[in-house]
């Protein structure tokens, strides 16, 4: 396939999404059909691109000698784009059911579709400038989704999201400029940073970039927007705040570390220890905070904070094994967490319950929802044979391989966090399936979720099981695609 094909997955959703706002649909069903068709075509385009487009650069705009806006699909990009492309239509299916009682459909689906395009842009960016542009665009296209409820709480959450995201990007900007000045070029494995005179400046700027791009990856102390953003409609929380947006942050970290700066340049320096410590602290912080949340979705949001830092921790190991582990967790956590959020959303939608203590006995009324949630809970805790176990396994072995004292401490943190994960994830399951005898919880009116909610959940849960049972298949695939 010609390299120009890359334009389709990036710009088609942007155009189709923007157009959808202005089409006067007669019935909600028509809009749903349109959105689904748009997403399916775009997702198919992504898959075709991932499978057939060669790894060559497609220059679109040449600003100066050093600044260009161009696309290219390399191994890491292929993985990230395929992951998002698979989950987006599923989430749309879920959203059709979930959004029935919500307002402003035109705006929601417009930006929902557009943010798919911007995410693809991040995945397919050829150089740091292009990635930076799409990164900012992603923020812009997702703000309306966070603000969707239009109440004071929603506005405040969106404002916080905006301040953090833009602020973070601005923070990273210095590093972007520095990288462009020092041997600007496309992302290459091992980094394109050529000889630098002032190494300490480069290191400080890497720290800036890590924290800046880390805002989207919810790295402590810039995680604050994520739990607040869980006021958004559940499809948004599930897809954007567990997969697309936050993983775009993690992906940016991977790009910065492995493809721009290069691990050889950073490994063993103080800055590696600094970012590793930050990641480890976030892991613990997220888990402890999740344990303290009574609100179901906020609990999951804090759990995301913790799990994103698993990825960040793997990234900071700065070894090929670390990169592999980071991608494993990036993919596995996506399917697990999206399933968990879907279940939480289904519970909110069909039983009007938002807090964990209210879930007592719900398992009888919603057995499939909670059964699937149980799978995701076990997966997230890292109980074999679910896939979460294997990503933790790869992270831990990669960490121990480095022989670095801090990395070994990080493994201990990982396991403490796994224990806490079990505490906060299993509590809803136990409450739902094993209610205390005599617990009075009025369950009238609660019914099992609609198939349009269950199918996406079931697909993700099945993926959680199958990716675990045949863990060597995806892992070998990652290894091959990333050419490690």
Please tell me whether the peptide bond between 385 and the residue prior to it is cis, using omega within 30 degrees of 0: yes
Residue 291 binds to other proteins (criterion: CB under 8 A): yes
Kindly determine how many residues on this chain lie close enough to bind other proteins according to the rule CB under 8 A: 40
Give the nearer residue to other proteins in terms of CB position, either 61 or 437: 437
Residue 422 binds to other proteins (criterion: CB under 8 A): yes
First to last CA, the chain: 25
Quick check: 227 and 241 in contact, CB under 8 A? Answer: no
Residue 292 binds to other proteins (criterion: CB under 8 A): yes
Give the nearer residue to other proteins in terms of CB position, either 355 or 434: 434
Cross-strand partners of 9: none
- Supply the minimum distance, in Å, between the C-beta of residue 472 and other proteins: 6
Quick check: 475 and 394 in contact, CB under 8 A? Answer: yes
Which of the residues 357 through 416 are near other proteins (CB under 8 A)? 378, 381, 383-385, 389, 396-397, 400-401, 411-412, 415-416
Residue 426 binds to other proteins (criterion: CB under 8 A): yes
Quick check: 297 and 232 in contact, CB under 8 A? Answer: no
Give the nearer residue to other proteins in terms of CB position, either 401 or 448: 401
Burial of residue 182 (CB within 10 Å: 0-12, 13-18, 19+) is middle
Number of residues that this document lists for the chain = 484
Burial of residue 419 (CB within 10 Å: 0-12, 13-18, 19+) is exposed
Which of the residues 91 through 110 are near other proteins (CB under 8 A)? none
Please tell me whether the peptide bond between 221 and the residue prior to it is cis, using omega within 30 degrees of 0: yes
- Supply the minimum distance, in Å, between the C-beta of residue 164 and other proteins: 8
Site string for other proteins, 207-236 (x = CB under 8 A): -------------xxx-x------------
Burial of residue 224 (CB within 10 Å: 0-12, 13-18, 19+) is middle
Which of the residues 298 through 357 are near other proteins (CB under 8 A)? none
Q: Determine the interface stretch with other proteins among 144-152, 338-346, 429-437, 455-463 (rule: CB under 8 A).
A: 429-437
Which of the residues 142 through 201 are near other proteins (CB under 8 A)? 163
Q: How many CB atoms lie within 10 A of CB 169?
A: 20
| Residue 390 Cα to chain centre, angstroms | 18
Give the nearer residue to other proteins in terms of CB position, either 107 or 291: 291
Sole binder of other proteins in the list 418, 432, 464, 467 (CB under 8 A): 418
Q: Which chain residues interact with other proteins by CB under 8 A?
A: 163, 220-222, 224, 284-285, 288-289, 291-292, 378, 381, 383-385, 389, 396-397, 400-401, 411-412, 415-416, 418-419, 422-423, 426, 430, 434-437, 468-472
């Amino acid at each position: 396939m010609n390299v120009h094909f890359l334009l389709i997955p990036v710009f088609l959703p942007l155009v189709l999404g923007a157009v959808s706002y202005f089409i006067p649909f007669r019935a909600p069903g028509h809009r749903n059909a349109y959105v689904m068709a748009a997403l399916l075509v775009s997702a198919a385009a992504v898959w075709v691109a991932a499978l057939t487009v060669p790894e060559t650069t497609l220059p679109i705009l040449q600003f100066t000698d050093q600044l260009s806006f161009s696309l290219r699909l390399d191994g890491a990009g292929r993985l990230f784009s395929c992951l998002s492309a698979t989950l987006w239509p599923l989430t749309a299916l879920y959203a059709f059911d979930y959004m029935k009682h919500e307002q402003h459909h035109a705006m929601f689906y417009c930006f929902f579709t557009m943010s798919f395009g911007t995410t693809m842009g991040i995945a397919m960016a050829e150089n740091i400038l292009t990635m930076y542009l799409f990164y900012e665009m992603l923020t812009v296209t997702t703000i309306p989704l966070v603000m969707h409820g239009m109440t004071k709480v929603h506005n405040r959450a969106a404002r916080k999201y905006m301040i953090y995201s833009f602020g973070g990007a601005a923070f990273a900007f210095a590093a972007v400029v520095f990288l462009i000045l020092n041997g600007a070029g496309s992302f290459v494995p091992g980094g394109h940073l050529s000889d630098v005179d002032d190494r300490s400046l480069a290191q400080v700027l890497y720290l800036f970039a890590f924290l800046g791009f880390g805002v989207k990856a919810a790295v402590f102390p810039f995680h604050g927007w994520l739990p607040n953003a869980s006021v958004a409609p559940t499809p948004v929380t599930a897809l954007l705040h567990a997969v697309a947006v936050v993983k775009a942050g993690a992906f940016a970290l991977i790009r910065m570390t492995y493809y721009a700066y290069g691990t050889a340049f950073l490994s063993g320096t103080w800055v590696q220890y600094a970012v590793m410590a930050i990641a480890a602290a976030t892991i613990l912080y997220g888990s402890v905070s999740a344990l303290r949340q009574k609100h179901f979705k906020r609990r999951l949001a804090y759990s995301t904070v913790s799990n994103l830092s698993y990825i960040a921790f793997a990234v900071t190991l700065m070894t090929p094994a670390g990169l592999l582990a980071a991608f494993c967790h990036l993919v596995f956590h996506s399917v697990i967490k999206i399933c968990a959020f879907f279940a939480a959303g289904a519970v909110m939608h069909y039983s009007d319950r938002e807090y964990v203590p209210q879930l007592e006995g719900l398992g009888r009324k919603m057995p499939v929802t909670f059964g699937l949630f149980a799978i995701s809970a076990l997966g997230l805790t890292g109980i074999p044979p679910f896939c979460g176990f294997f990503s933790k396994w790869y992270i831990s072995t990669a960490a121990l391989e480095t022989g670095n004292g801090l990395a070994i401490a990080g493994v201990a943190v990982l396991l403490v966090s796994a224990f806490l994960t079990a505490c906060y994830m299993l509590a809803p399951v136990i409450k739902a399936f094993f209610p205390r005898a005599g617990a009075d919880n009025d369950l009238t009116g609660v019914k099992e979720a609609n198939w349009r909610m269950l199918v996406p959940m079931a697909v993700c849960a099945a993926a959680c099981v199958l990716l675990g049972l045949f863990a060597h298949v995806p892992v070998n695939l990652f290894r091959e695609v990333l050419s490690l």
